[in-house]
Amino acid sequence: MNPTEWFTEQHADAGSAFSLKIKQKLHEEQSEFQHLEIYETETFGNLMIIDGCTMVSTRDNFFYHEMMSHPALFTHPDPKRVWIIGGGDCGTLREVLKHPSVEQAVQIDIDERVTRLAEIYFPELCESNNDPRADLKFIDGIKWVKDAEPNSVDIIIVDSTDPVGPALGLFSEEFYRDCFACLSENGMVVQQSESPLYHMKLIGEMRDAMSNAGLSHLQTLFFPQCLYPSGWWSATIASKGDLSKFRESDSANKPFDTTYYNVDIHKAALAQPEFVKKAFNL
Ligand code: SAM
């Protein structure tokens, strides 16, 4: 492969890589927190890279953004106050604001430059940023949650980078304890939990840490995401309350369009593969 024509992310531990053919590099900078690159690709639209890792493409981001938001929002009985920790590309925020019950959605990303670049190169993901219910803050999500008042949020969506650099603390038991303290009665955390094929140890550690922090009802959902390592991704919901049911009829009658999510996809995403059942004693 000619390195000038392809962007390649190597997944060193897994001995694999993912490449996209690029037309041109649109932008590159070192922000205060991370290295940011934007490419125009041949077939995936624009592509955002943070610290060498693929984050978002125009073509396939809908899988991730829809599955990070709708399953949790259709599981909570009445989600009004939602925080998105990370999520600077604003795609998750757009999905959350499709829910009429949501009165306030606060996005807390440590790096304002991610959002400023998304506004230029992924304008469709930012189309709800001016919704009066949206509030964009640019500070460390770990500190935001630590400083929060009890009972101040219904759902915390952790849409972060991988557990390295500024995102490392977002995968710790201490962080989940801080989440527990500020969540309302039926409150829940939903967090991107990496690849079930490559990162089962991490998913197990996350689930243990969430449970030890008091968020003892757990659900790991699976969905495709070809841009990310192995092409198969997960999100883990950790709740104070029962997760055995979701609002199926509200989901079936959702008053908005989606590209991937629907009630049957929601049910299918909850199915647990045999090796996962074995690993988590389900
Ligand atoms: N979909 C992506 C994935 O799974 O790879 C995540 C995309 S989103 C752009 C990740 C965001 O998390 C970045 O914008 C980064 O700035 C933000 N982030 C990392 N650590 C953070 C922290 N401690 N507080 C708030 N935001 C953080």
Question: Is residue 203 over pLDDT 80?
Answer: yes
Structure tokens at 100: 């009429």
Asked if 141 and 106 touch (Cβ cutoff 8 Å), the reply is no
Residue 278 lies inside a defined structural domain of this protein? no
Residue 259 lies inside a defined structural domain of this protein? yes
Contacts of 147 (CB under 8 A, 6+ apart): none
Asked if 246 and 272 touch (Cβ cutoff 8 Å), the reply is no
Q: Is 42 found in the same domain as 71?
A: no
Question: Is residue 47 over pLDDT 90?
Answer: yes
Q: Is 199 found in the same domain as 133?
A: yes
Q: 109 among the known binding-site residues?
A: yes
Give me the number of domains the chain comprises. 2
Asked if 182 and 151 touch (Cβ cutoff 8 Å), the reply is yes
Q: Is 130 found in the same domain as 253?
A: yes
Q: Is 48 found in the same domain as 135?
A: no
Q: Is 198 found in the same domain as 146?
A: yes
Determine if ligand 1 sits within 6 Å of the CB of residue 170.
yes
Q: pLDDT tens digit string along 132-175?
A: 999 999 999 999 999 999 999 999 999 998 888 899 999 999 99
Which of 13, 159, 178, 242 is an active site residue? Answer: 159
Question: Is residue 35 over pLDDT 70?
Answer: yes
Residue 193 lies inside a defined structural domain of this protein? yes
Residue 281 lies inside a defined structural domain of this protein? no
Residue 212 lies inside a defined structural domain of this protein? yes
Q: Would you give the distance in Å from CA 39 to the centre of its chain?
A: 21
pLDDT at site 81: 98
Strands 104-108 and 183-192: unpaired
**Does the annotation mark 178 as catalytic?**
no
Q: What are phi and psi of 20, to 5 degrees?
A: -130, 140
Determine if ligand 1 sits within 6 Å of the CB of residue 109.
yes
Q: Is 204 found in the same domain as 94?
A: yes
Residue 220 lies inside a defined structural domain of this protein? yes
Q: pLDDT tens digit string along 259-268?
A: 999 999 999 9
**Residue 95: enclosing H or E segment and its boundaries?**
helix 91-96
Q: Is 85 found in the same domain as 221?
A: yes
Q: What is the mean pLDDT of residues 30-47?
A: 98
**Residue 240: enclosing H or E segment and its boundaries?**
none
Radius of gyration of the chain (CA): 18
Q: Is 139 found in the same domain as 193?
A: yes
d(CA 113, CA 110): 9
Which residue shows structure tokens 């629907």?
262
Q: Is 224 found in the same domain as 143?
A: yes
Q: Is 167 found in the same domain as 40?
A: no
In DSSP terms, 191 is beta-bridged to: 158, 236
Q: What is the mean pLDDT of residues 50-67?
A: 97
Q: What are phi and psi of 46, to 5 degrees?
A: -85, 155
Range of the domain at 202: 61-271
The protein residue with its alpha carbon nearest to ligand 1, atom 18, reads 86
Which atom of ligand 1 lies closest to the CA of 88? 14
CATH code where residue 264 lies: 3.40.50.150
Residue 280 lies inside a defined structural domain of this protein? no
Question: Is residue 1 over pLDDT 50?
Answer: no
The protein residue with its alpha carbon nearest to ligand 1, atom 1, reads 55
- SS3 of residue 127 by DSSP: coil
Angle at 159 between CA 80 and CA 70, to 5 degrees: 45
Determine if ligand 1 sits within 6 Å of the CB of residue 88.
yes
Contacts of 241 (CB under 8 A, 6+ apart): 185, 186, 187, 188, 217
Q: Is 66 found in the same domain as 53?
A: no
pLDDT at site 133: 98
> Which amino acid, 219?
Q
Q: Is 75 found in the same domain as 30?
A: no
Q: Where would I find the beta strands (DSSP E) of 67-210?
A: 81-86, 104-108, 134-137, 153-159, 183-192
Q: What is the mean pLDDT of residues 84-104?
A: 98
The pTM for the full model equals 0.97
- Domain's final residue, options 57, 73, 94: 57
